[in-house]
């Protein structure tokens, strides 16, 4: 079914110019389209928001969401928050059936989490020995569409604290394999010890990154390595510490220390020129639909409001290979009554959404 022609008029972000924009055959054009229906006039037109770290298919508490209705509801919850594209950073569930539904956000997948045996949440990761990591990375690069997700560190029961999962040689082989397959690699890390090998081996992104040091931030800035801080999930660190305190007191202490300095780490990364993007880590500990809270958390950590917004919109879209509001691009746009660069609370109230050239809200 061909999407009807649409017309929107407003301030196009990030340029900040008032323009008329048309949608024809699902794509943006700045050439007038006779007979187009005006669906928005006078607002601020923002390239669709991105949640750059979520998990479609993982429910609250880590349960697998296998049914299509449940998967669809997670995606719709994100869409209601203005999110029109998701980077799914690891899911045990095959969610590709959602791609057939044009009213749902675009999903960029990283396949399954890859972890060492007994070194991640049970049932979520493919667990394997270091010598098997590169081969499975190729499998997941082909299963996903652009990314592979490693678990870089987790609690090491022998040391009673966070510890790296992989030797440097295994990381280098895995990243090399992914790059040969045309995929990028990201890694979950909370602590510091796993980061030098991951960054030194050429990883493309770090998730959470609460253990980053000034030296490592400088190395990331030089290499162009991105970070997705997931600050709304970092708020759970004190709870993680309390839950593990009796059995692993050193781990509990580490998690509290990482929590205390998490905002300063994000601010230092941004000021050093590290690409910072917004992700919520929805699925498991958190519900979907929290991108507005994550953007505000980035701002409170020290990013200017416009930079925090960019981290979930035009900058994130460029990073993931998604166009913005430009001639010939797929028409994904969220409209707000007031300028979200001036007031981030505006993000809680999207007034109109167009996804793949169709009005969806």
pLDDT of residue 255: 98
| 279 pLDDT tier (thresholds 50, 70, 90) | very high
CA distance linking residue 348 with residue 339, whole number of Å: 12
pTM over 0.85: yes
Q: Answer whether 178's CB lies under 8 Å from 146's CB.
A: no
Domain 49-319 belongs to what topology? TIM Barrel (3.20.20)
| 270-275 average pLDDT score | 98
User: What's the pLDDT tens digit per position in 32-86?
Assistant: 999 999 999 999 999 999 999 999 999 987 889 989 999 999 999 999 999 999 9
Domain map of the chain by residue range? 6-46+323-359, 49-319
* Predicted confidence (pLDDT) at residue 2 exceeds the cutoff of 90: no
Q: What value does the CA radius of gyration of the chain take, rounded to a whole number of Å?
A: 20
Q: What are phi and psi of 304, to 5 degrees?
A: -55, 150
Tokens of 244: 């593990």
CATH code, residues 6-46+323-359: 2.30.40.10
User: What's the pLDDT tens digit per position in 152-164?
Assistant: 999 999 999 999 9
CA distance linking residue 149 with residue 128, whole number of Å: 14
User: What's the pLDDT tens digit per position in 330-345?
Assistant: 999 999 999 999 999 9
| 171-176 average pLDDT score | 98
CA distance linking residue 259 with residue 251, whole number of Å: 12
pLDDT of residue 323: 98
pLDDT of residue 312: 98
| 262-286 average pLDDT score | 97
User: What's the pLDDT tens digit per position in 200-224?
Assistant: 999 999 999 999 999 999 999 999 9
pLDDT of residue 43: 96
* Predicted confidence (pLDDT) at residue 239 exceeds the cutoff of 80: yes
């Amino acid at each position: 079914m061909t999407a009807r022609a649409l017309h929107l008029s407003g301030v196009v972000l990030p340029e900040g110019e008032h323009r008329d924009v048309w949608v024809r055959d699902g794509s943006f054009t700045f050439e007038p389209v006779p007979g187009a229906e005006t669906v928005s006039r006078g607002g601020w037109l923002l390239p669709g928001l991105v949640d750059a770290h979520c998990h479609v298919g993982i429910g609250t508490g880590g349960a697998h969401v296998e049914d299509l209705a449940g998967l669809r509801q997670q995606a719709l919850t994100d869409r209601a928050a203005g999110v029109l594209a998701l980077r799914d950073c690891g899911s045990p569930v095959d969610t590709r059936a959602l791609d057939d539904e044009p009213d749902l956000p675009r999903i960029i997948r990283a396949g399954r989490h890859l972890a060492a045996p007994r070194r991640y949440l049970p049932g979520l990761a493919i667990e394997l020995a270091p010598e098997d990591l590169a081969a499975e990375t190729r499998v997941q690069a082909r299963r996903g569409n652009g990314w592979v997700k490693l678990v870089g560190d987790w609690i090491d029961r022998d040391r009673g604290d966070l510890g790296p999962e992989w030797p440097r040689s295994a990381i280098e082989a895995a990243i090399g394999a992914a790059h040969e397959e045309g995929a990028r690699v990201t890694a979950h890390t909370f602590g510091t010890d796993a980061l030098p090998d991951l960054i030194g081996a050429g990883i493309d992104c770090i998730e959470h990154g609460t253990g980053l040091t000034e030296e490592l931030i400088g190395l990331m800035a030089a290499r162009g390595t991105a970070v997705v801080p997931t600050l709304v999930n970092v708020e759970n660190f004190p709870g993680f510490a309390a839950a593990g305190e009796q059995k692993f007191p050193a781990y509990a202490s580490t998690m509290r220390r990482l929590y205390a300095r998490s905002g300063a780490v994000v601010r230092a990364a941004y000021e050093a020129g590290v690409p910072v993007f917004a992700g919520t880590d929805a699925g498991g500990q958190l519900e979907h639909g929290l991108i507005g809270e994550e953007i505000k958390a980035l701002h409170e950590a020290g990013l200017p409001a416009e930079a925090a917004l960019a981290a979930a919109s035009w900058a994130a879209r460029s990073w993931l290979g998604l166009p913005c509001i430009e001639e010939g691009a797929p028409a994904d746009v969220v409209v707000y009554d007031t300028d979200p660069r001036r007031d981030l609370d505006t993000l809680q109230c999207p007034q109109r959404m167009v996804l793949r050239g169709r009005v969806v809200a």
